[in-house]
Amino acid sequence: MRKYILYSIIIFSFFSCKNKNKEDNAVARVNNFYLYEEEITEKMFSNFTKEDSLLFRSNYINSWALEKILLDKARINIEDKNSDIKKLVASYEKELLIDRYKQAILQQELDTIITNQDIDKHYKKNKNIYKLNEKLIQLKYVNYNKDINNERKVIKLFKSKSSENIRELIKKELEFNSFNFNDSIWVSLKSVLRKLPILKDIKNIKKNDFIKKEDSLEVYLVAVNDILRRNQIAPKKYILPRIKQMILHKRKLKLIQEIEKSLITDAINKKQFEQY
């Protein structure tokens, strides 16, 4: 009898000490759940000020407590007679595992090198899916104050297509408010109008147009190299990121199909999969 009482005291003392240690090290408790300081500090950024740390700590504890309280209330009050939640969790776990496995294989096996030949081949074959939904333009422009020295020379150099004359213009860049002399790049007309709102009142901008616009203080020179309308085929350079993304997407789909086919064949050969 004495031995039983002594044993009971030891067991009670063990669990009491264990719970006491839990409470001593904890910063918060919700029923049988405990939150510890290290769980909070590992989430903090190293550059937090003292005030930031205190605010983060308070918010974290309250968020943690609310989650546990809600979870307890949900378990008590929500009846899952048909085990819908368990089914959903099992389904999500299954999909997550399969997706992780596929992603791991893709990371190891997918060829991510895209050559110029790959790009050209894809673009020629799929041109019709890359129709423009906005106007594109190639242009150069320069903006300067009205009191600039030798304006006639600036206009003459600007209108020229000679690279030598463009280089001479660039030497005068400190005299310009803004400029762009690279007219081989396609940009959206909307973005140009945001940058050069003085062009907004021009209704029909055409290829090879030269435009001179001015206000009370400044002059704008614009030379249009080319323009593309809505529903025309997008230039290859303009949609290059989309082409690369599409090529990789198709490779992924093809590789996944090959992997799935290989897994089925392998399972059949190993007698792991049979159809009745």
Note whether residue 123 is domain-resident.
Answer: no
CATH number at residue 214: 3.10.50
Handedness of CA 204, 207, 208, 214 (dihedral sign): positive
Note whether residue 161 is domain-resident.
Answer: yes
pLDDT in tens, 168-224: 999 999 999 999 999 999 999 999 999 998 888 887 889 999 999 988 899 999 999
Note whether residue 220 is domain-resident.
Answer: yes
First to last CA, the chain: 66
pLDDT at 85: 81
Domain that holds residue 187: 132-228
Does the predicted TM-score (pTM) go above 0.75? no
Residue where a domain terminates, one of 187, 205, 228 = 228
Note whether residue 235 is domain-resident.
Answer: no
H/E element holding 207? none
- Please give the average per-residue pLDDT across 225-254, as a whole number: 95
pLDDT in tens, 165-177: 999 999 999 999 9
Residue where a domain terminates, one of 31, 62, 77 = 77
pLDDT in tens, 121-175: 999 999 999 999 999 999 999 999 999 988 999 999 999 989 999 999 999 999 9
Whether the per-residue pLDDT at 253 is higher than 80: the answer is yes
Note whether residue 184 is domain-resident.
Answer: yes
- Please give the average per-residue pLDDT across 75-104, as a whole number: 83
For all residues of the chain together, what is the average pLDDT?
Answer: 87
Q: 63 and 138, same structural domain? A: no
With cut-offs at 50, 70 and 90, classify the pLDDT of residue 114: very high
Note whether residue 104 is domain-resident.
Answer: no
pLDDT at 41: 86
pLDDT at 48: 83
pLDDT at 204: 85
pLDDT at 81: 60
Residue where a domain terminates, one of 191, 208, 228 = 228
Nearest Cα to 143, choosing from 198, 203, 186?
Answer: 198
Q: 220 and 138, same structural domain? A: yes
Note whether residue 275 is domain-resident.
Answer: no
Nearest Cα to 222, choosing from 232, 237, 207, 234?
Answer: 207
Note whether residue 188 is domain-resident.
Answer: yes
Indicate the number of domains in the chain.
2
- Would you say 151 and 139 are in contact if contact means Cβ atoms under 8 Å apart? no
